[in-house]
Amino acid sequence: MSNPSKSKVKRVPKRGIYEREEVYALLDKEFLCHVGFVYDGYPVVIPTMYGRKGDVIYIHGASVSRLLVSLEKGIDVSVSIANVSGLVLARSAFHHSLNYESVVIFGKGSLVEGEEKLDALKVISDSVIKGRWEEVRLPSEKEMKATKVLKIQIDEVSAKVRTGPPVDDKPDYDLDIWAGELPIVKTYGKPIADTLLKEGIETPKSVKNKIGVRF
């Protein structure tokens, strides 16, 4: 994939990733994104869940949502996704950093309707917790009317990844200062059942499959 001007990584370009297969693999590990757009003349960034299918990501929300009402007009948007996996602690304050994976998308939104709308909601649900969609009551007609689903075409996209130890200035390696990495491990914990749950209902497979999983 070429490096379009908007998505080209300019700061430490060697960390940039442009091949869609690699970028999409990073996208599919996450389910929370931040959508940036201009609303009424000022910039806004809204966090929301997403799911990817092909060259689009789906987002959803209330029909009156400022985000969705704006995006369905086809305005330009930028979407960012990031995951931090560790603190990088250098000998100097200047060279402290993070180990991370990030993706930035540029595209336009459009309204999803018809059969694709329900399919898109399943894509989002599967992105958060695969298999849950098959275990629950599906949206009613009233709920579907109260919900908007948008797809954002991935026109341009790039990723940026940092891994490994700190990189200090050569003279600083002689300093008597500890340096290294402090991993950040996010893990799904033990499920907490709803206090109003009927007796005899066991933890479903989709939830059991998440227990102890790192993300």
pLDDT the model gives residue 1: 44
Instruction: Classify residue 97: in a domain, yes or no.
Output: yes
Instruction: Classify residue 1: in a domain, yes or no.
Output: no
Q: What is the dihedral of CA 186, 191, 196, 198, to 10 degrees?
A: 150
Instruction: Classify residue 110: in a domain, yes or no.
Output: yes
Instruction: Classify residue 34: in a domain, yes or no.
Output: yes
Cα separation of the two ends of the chain? 28
Instruction: Classify residue 200: in a domain, yes or no.
Output: no
Looking up tokens 């940039």 gives 16
pLDDT at 44 over 90: yes
Looking up tokens 């390696």 gives 173
Portion of the chain with pLDDT greater than 70, in percent: 98
pLDDT the model gives residue 2: 43
Q: Which of 5-14, 37-46, 50-59 is predicted with the least confidence, judged by mean pLDDT?
A: 5-14
pLDDT at 12 over 60: yes
Helix (H) or strand (E) holding 143, with range, is helix 141-145
Average pLDDT, the chain: 94
Could you write out the DSSP letters of every residue in 152-185?
EE-SEEEEEEE-SS----GGGGGSS---EEEE--
Across residues 27-40, what is the average pLDDT? 96
CATH at residue 21 = 2.30.110.10
For residue 93, the enclosing domain spans 13-169
Instruction: Classify residue 208: in a domain, yes or no.
Output: no
Instruction: Classify residue 185: in a domain, yes or no.
Output: no
Tens-place pLDDT, residues 104-141: 999 999 999 999 999 999 999 999 999 999 999 999 99
**pLDDT range class, residue 15, cuts 50, 70, 90:** confident
Tens-place pLDDT, residues 156-178: 999 999 999 999 999 999 999 99
Rounded-to-integer distance, Cα 6 and Cα 170, Å: 34
Instruction: Classify residue 164: in a domain, yes or no.
Output: yes
SS3 38: strand
pLDDT at 3 over 60: no
Q: What's the domain count of the chain? A: 1
